[in-house]
Amino acid sequence: MPAVSIIIPNYNHAPFLNQRIDSILKQTYQDFEVIIMDDCSTDNSKEIIERYRGNAFVTNIVYNETNSGSTFKQWQKGINLAKGAYIWIAESDDWCEPTLLQELVNGTANNTNIAISYCGSVVINEREEILYTSTSKKMGGVTDGITFIKNNLLESNVIFNASMAIFNKLSFQNISLEFTSYKFCGDWLFWIKLAQKGSVYTSGKYLNYFRKHDMDVSRRSMADGTYFVEYPRLAKYLLDNNLITSKQYGYLLYRKYQPLKKFAGNRQIKKNLLLTYRKLIGIKSLVKFTVTTTVHNVYINLWIVTPLFIKNAIRKILLPKISQ
Q: What SS3 class is residue 247?
A: helix
Would you say residue 185 lies in a domain?
Answer: yes
Do 206 and 253 fall into the same domain?
Answer: no
Last residue in a domain, options 216, 248, 276? 216
Q: How many domains does the chain have?
A: 3
Would you say residue 69 lies in a domain?
Answer: yes
pTM: 0.86
Report how far residue 137's alpha carbon sits from residue 197's, in angstroms, rounded to the nearest whole number: 23
Do 208 and 246 fall into the same domain?
Answer: no
Would you say residue 62 lies in a domain?
Answer: yes
**Residue 116 CB partners (closer than 8 Å, separation 6+):** 159, 165, 166, 167, 168, 171, 191, 194, 195, 198, 200, 201
Do 24 and 145 fall into the same domain?
Answer: yes
Amino acid at 141: G
CA distances from 70 to 52, 92, 175, 186, 296 (A): 25, 15, 18, 9, 41
Would you say residue 97 lies in a domain?
Answer: yes
Q: Which domain holds residue 249?
A: 219-286
Do 159 and 54 fall into the same domain?
Answer: yes
Report how far residue 6's alpha carbon sits from residue 3's, in angstroms, rounded to the nearest whole number: 10
pLDDT tens for the chain, 324 residues long, are 899 999 999 999 999 999 999 999 999 999 999 999 999 999 999 999 999 999 999 999 999 999 888 888 888 899 999 999 999 999 999 999 999 999 999 999 878 899 999 999 999 988 889 999 988 777 779 999 999 999 999 999 999 999 999 999 999 999 998 988 988 899 999 999 999 999 999 999 999 999 987 665 556 656 688 999 999 999 999 999 999 999 999 999 999 998 998 888 888 999 999 999 999 999 888 888 788 777 766 666 666 767 777 667 766 665 554 444
Do 106 and 211 fall into the same domain?
Answer: yes
Do 263 and 303 fall into the same domain?
Answer: no
Do 139 and 118 fall into the same domain?
Answer: yes
CA distances from 264 to 53, 225, 267, 289 (A): 44, 9, 8, 23
Q: Are 62 and 35 spatial neighbours (Cβ–Cβ below 8 Å)?
A: yes
Would you say residue 291 lies in a domain?
Answer: no
Do 24 and 51 fall into the same domain?
Answer: yes
Do 241 and 309 fall into the same domain?
Answer: no
Would you say residue 190 lies in a domain?
Answer: yes
